Structure 1
Amino acid sequence: MVVSSAYQAAALMSVISFAGALVFVGCGRLASKFGIDDAKAVSFFDATCLTLAATAMIGDACLHLIPETFEGTDEETADRYGVLLVTGVVAVLAFEKICDACNTGTIEPFGVANLLVEGLHNFADGMALQVAWNLNREAGVATTIAVAVHELPQELGDFAVLRRAGFATGPLLAANFVASLTCFGGVALAASPWVASREAEMVAFTAGSFLALALHSLAPRALATLDEAATSQGRAVRAAWLLALVLGVVRFLQFVGELEHAVPAAEESSSGFGSFFSRGKEL
């Protein structure tokens, strides 16, 4: 891996933002090569990626962000984080309703919400990267790998989410790339005591927004794609595939969690969100 600083790691995350488009193009070419109907291929791809996005968001929130945010907190602090988590849920639902009431274009509100939530999440990733690289190269590389591998399924899902929301391919790639650039902001601001001391609060809010976006907007649309199968047998096959995908993503996220904590104890203070929180709380 040719990465030697937090800024280069952030640049790598921006490159990963194009993963969804590359996979979509590759799948389209494979479908054409094997004579698969374009409409069926697009429907199947959307079902797969919407499920991927919803599962990645729910898994990231429940397996990583929430447990590590609340780890080692006292009752008063836990209550504050809980309020922020619920605030994140309400904020996404309210934002979608406001956009729905004001929207006169072709972009669905959940697509805009997805971009904002991803930008916030990338910002937190940037902060974790900066803290890790400040400690030493080994911790920086370990954290870069951990962030990269959990970004991959997220970006694959984001592409399908934004397509489903009505974005054309060009604006979609541009908007998703801009959202990825907030990682640089996280790197730049990680040294600020004011920002670092509030990082746990920000991620509690992000976890709530992940849950709201996944359960309210993405999961229902993923399930709705089952009805796009032409036959009951096709729906059964697609449902089995989506269930297998969910289980696979959950196991993958568990692996990411193991990777984040694979750094030796002396370096563990910067290998992932949870340890970064403990540093922030001490400031």
Structure 2
Amino acid sequence: MDKLIYIIASTFLISLASLIGVFTLSIKEKTLSKFLLFLISLSAGTLMGGAFLHLLPEASEKLNNGNLYSIVLFSFVLFFLIEKLLHWRHCHKKNCDVHTFGYMNLFGDAVHNFIDGLVIAATFLIDIKLGIITSFAIALHEIPQEIGDFGVLLYSGFSRKKALYSNFLVALTAVFGGILGYFFSFQIENMTSYLLPSAAGGFIYIAASDLMPEIRKETSLRKSLLSFSIFLLGIAIMYLVKFIGHE
């Protein structure tokens, strides 16, 4: 039972990283809008980096390449279908399509956080010290990811307050994953093998289909170069996180 308390405490504290956007509440809307393009660029970079540098390499250790790429492709197509259905069923305004991928990002992030919870539970069940080290590594990994997610939600039309509480509620799936991992550690081991590439496919779709096209629309050379640099920075941050020990 002591280990369960460690798991719940660790996953909850990590979930608090999703509230990092609270620092923007004191910034005026007009000022924030000037930085939105760069926040989108960082979001695209962290999503791409998270998918290709973290989720897929981890999944490749558990699945053969044929199954791995099939699941990524299926997830990519599924996210495309979901976006089209959401747009068809709920959007009637000219620019309504910018809202749909915000909810899709929340879904992908929920899967990702749930997996983090499973990983934390598994390591605590092996050794408490290992669990603490893993939790710390995941927390550092989550900070740039949550900044990126917050940017996606703002761009998709969420207000700052709605983006904050939506991000936090989704982050709490890590707690659920941790509890489930504690009670069903052996039964759910194979499930994570399929969830990892599923989340990766969703992140790749959102970055490539919804965010990067917006970066490409910028006509100013200076802003284009800066946004591209920030996009690369997002990837670089996720690359550096690999060496903290999350894998």
Name the CA distance, whole Å, in 1 between partners of 2:163 and 2:141: 21
- For 1:110, which of 96, 101, 116 is the aligned residue? 101
When Rg is computed on C-alpha atoms for both structures, the one with the higher figure is 1
Which amino acid letter does the alignment assign opposite residue 16 of structure 1? A
Which amino acid letter does the alignment assign opposite residue 117 of structure 2? G
Structure 2 gaps of 5+ residues are: none
The sequence identity of aligned pairs, in percent, is 25
CA contact (8 A) 2:21 2:150 kept: yes
Q: For residue 185 of structure 1, what is the aligned residue in structure 2?
A: 176
Q: For residue 276 of structure 1, what is the aligned residue in structure 2?
A: none
Listed one character per residue, the Cα deviations across residues 200-246 of structure 1 (whole Å, up to 9, x for unaligned) are 1110111111111110011112333x24xxxxxxx222223223223
Listed one character per residue, the Cα deviations across residues 236-260 of structure 1 (whole Å, up to 9, x for unaligned) are 2222322322332222222211111
Of structures 1 and 2, the one scoring higher in RCO (CA 8 A, sep 6+) is 2
Q: For residue 111 of structure 2, what is the aligned residue in structure 1?
A: 120
* 1:145 Cα deviation from its structure 2 partner: 2.1
Which amino acid letter does the alignment assign opposite residue 9 of structure 1? S
- For 1:64, which of 39, 54, 62 is the aligned residue? 54
Calculate the TM-score normalised by the size of structure 2.
0.87
> Considering only aligned residues, what root-mean-square deviation do their CA atoms show, in Å?
2.1
SS in 2 for 1:17: helix
Which amino acid letter does the alignment assign opposite residue 14 of structure 2? M
Asked if 1:213 is matched to 2:206, the reply is: yes
Which amino acid letter does the alignment assign opposite residue 129 of structure 2? E
Name the CA distance, whole Å, in 1 between partners of 2:19 and 2:221: 31
Listed one character per residue, the Cα deviations across residues 32-70 of structure 1 (whole Å, up to 9, x for unaligned) are xxxxxx63x333321121111111111111111112211
Q: How many residues align?
A: 237
Structure 1 gaps of 5+ residues are: 30-37, 228-234, 261-270, 273-283
Q: For residue 198 of structure 1, what is the aligned residue in structure 2?
A: 191
Which amino acid letter does the alignment assign opposite residue 78 of structure 1? N
Which amino acid letter does the alignment assign opposite residue 55 of structure 2? L
Asked if 1:95 is matched to 2:82, the reply is: yes
CA contact (8 A) 1:55 1:246 kept: yes
* 1:172 Cα deviation from its structure 2 partner: 2.3
Q: For residue 163 of structure 2, what is the aligned residue in structure 1?
A: 172
Calculate the TM-score normalised by the size of structure 1.
0.77
